[in-house]
Structures are given as structure tokens and as C-alpha cells.
């Protein structure tokens, strides 16, 4: 019943249609690597190498809404002729994991309050960076993933030109394909249609 307790307040906010609160079929979450075989995954929350120091996911897969994956596929296709590709750090995140993160770092600038939910909980946000296809090396960016400092802000300018250019390339290609970047995290992008997808608390990987 936890799911319904979380969804009912959302109805009050008008984020979902009135009436039935049946969650979307779990099958609407797509395995990103199956859909985009050459995409690279480094799912940090499946390891202790994250800001909580805890393993939060049982497996290291990435899952997103079907239409979000289609957009990412277009991003990957546009990057390939440039010799670049995407590496994903996080994608769909169960609400139960959002609560664990909030317990460790209850700062709404960086971790969404689980009472509202994160766009990751909707399967409509992705954390990623650019890699060189030739050797898999990450392009240098202003900070590592999940660096909660001002240097990670999208509009932070006191950086070498190369870092600004890499950040801009990622932002431009993602924006062109229907994503918008979060101001405090250069690595985080929301599908511009994230409101279409309700919060979802299914296990990862989702049941088929
Ligand atoms: Zn994120």
C-alpha cells in the first residue's frame, strides 16, 4: 500500500489524471543496453562508489521509459560519427531507493525529497557523460559524477575552455533530442515530457 500513499498526494497536485491510480505496466521500463547495445553503463548505485557508500541496486542495469530510450538512441547515433558515445551513471530509480538517499543527504538542491519524488523515479531522467569510442575514456568534465559543489553547476564558468566545451557538447546534443539539463548537475538530464510519467516504485530490474 506504500505506492498508493505516495500517489494520492500527486493526484491533489494535478500531476496525474483523476480516477484510476493504476501504475503503468512495468514493461514500459526498457532495458537501455538492450535497446542501445553500444552504450556504456557505470551504474554507481549498484556499487559502494556513490555518495551514500551503500549498494542501493541489486543489479547494474539501466532502465528508462520506452520513449526516453528512443531519444537516447538518437543522441548516441549523433555522437558516433564524432567518435563519442554515452556512459550512463543512473537512470530509473525506485522510490524506495530515493528514500534511502534522502536519509543520507536531505538537501533538495541535490537529492529530490521522496515525498515529491525525483524525475528518476518516473523513469524519465538520466545521469550520463561522454566517452571516446576508441578507448572508452570519459571526456574530462568539470567534476566527477555526484559532486555536490558549485563547480558541478551547469552555468559555472571558472573552468578551462576544454571542460566547458565538453559540457556544452553533452548539453547541446541532449537538448536537441528532447532533454533539458538540471541547473545544479552537469550530468543530469530530464526528458522534457517527464510530467507524462507517474512516479513508479518497482524493483530493478523490473518484472517482465
Ligand atoms: Zn540525476
Mean pLDDT per 10-residue segment, the chain (208 residues)? 37 34 62 96 96 92 96 98 98 94 90 94 97 97 96 97 98 98 97 94 70
Report d(CA 54, CA 73) in Å as an integer. Answer: 30
Domains defined along the chain, listed by start: 25-196 (3.30.1380.10)
Residue 86 contacts residue 39 (beta carbons within 8 Å): yes
Per annotation, catalytic residue among 138, 150, 171, 185: 185
Ligand 1 centroid vs 188 CA: distance in angstroms? 4
Active site residue 150: no
Enter the pTM of the model. Answer: 0.85
Three cell numbers written together for 175 = 537538448
Report d(CA 66, CA 59) in Å as an integer. Answer: 20
Ligand 1 centroid vs 186 CA: distance in angstroms? 9
Ligand 1 centroid vs 19 CA: distance in angstroms? 30
CA-based torsion, 55, 60, 66, 68: positive or negative:
positive
Residues 6+ apart with CB under 8 A from 190: 119, 124, 125, 179, 180, 181, 182
Amino acid at each position: 500500500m506504500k505506492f498508493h500513499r505516495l500517489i494520492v498526494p500527486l493526484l491533489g497536485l494535478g500531476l496525474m489524471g483523476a480516477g484510476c491510480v493504476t501504475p503503468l505496466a512495468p514493461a514500459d521500463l526498457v532495458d537501455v543496453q538492450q535497446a542501445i547495445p553500444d552504450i556504456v553503463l557505470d551504474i554507481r548505485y549498484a556499487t559502494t562508489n556513490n555518495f551514500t557508500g551503500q549498494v542501493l541496486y541489486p543489479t547494474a542495469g539501466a532502465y528508462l521509459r520506452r520513449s526516453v530510450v528512443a531519444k537516447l538512441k538518437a543522441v548516441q547515433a549523433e555522437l558516433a560519427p564524432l567518435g563519442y558515445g554515452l556512459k550512463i551513471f543512473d537512470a530509473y530509480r525506485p522510490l524506495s531507493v530515493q528514500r534511502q538517499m534522502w536519509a543520507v543527504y536531505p538537501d533538495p538542491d541535490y537529492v529530490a525529497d521522496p515525498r515529491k519524488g525525483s524525475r528518476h523515479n518516473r523513469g524519465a531522467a538520466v545521469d550520463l557523460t561522454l566517452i571516446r569510442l576508441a578507448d572508452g575514456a570519459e571526456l574530462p568534465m568539470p567534476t566527477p559524477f555526484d559532486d555536490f559543489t558549485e563547480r558541478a553547476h551547469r552555468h559555472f564558468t571558472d573552468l578551462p575552455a576544454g571542460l566547458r566545451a565538453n559540457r556544452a557538447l553533452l548539453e547541446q546534443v541532449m537538448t536537441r533530442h528532447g532533454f533539458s539539463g538540471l541547473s545544479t548537475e552537469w550530468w543530469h538530464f530530464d526528458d522534457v515530457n517527464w510530467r507524462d510519467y507517474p512516479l513508479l516504485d518497482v524493483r530493478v530490474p523490473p518484472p517482465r
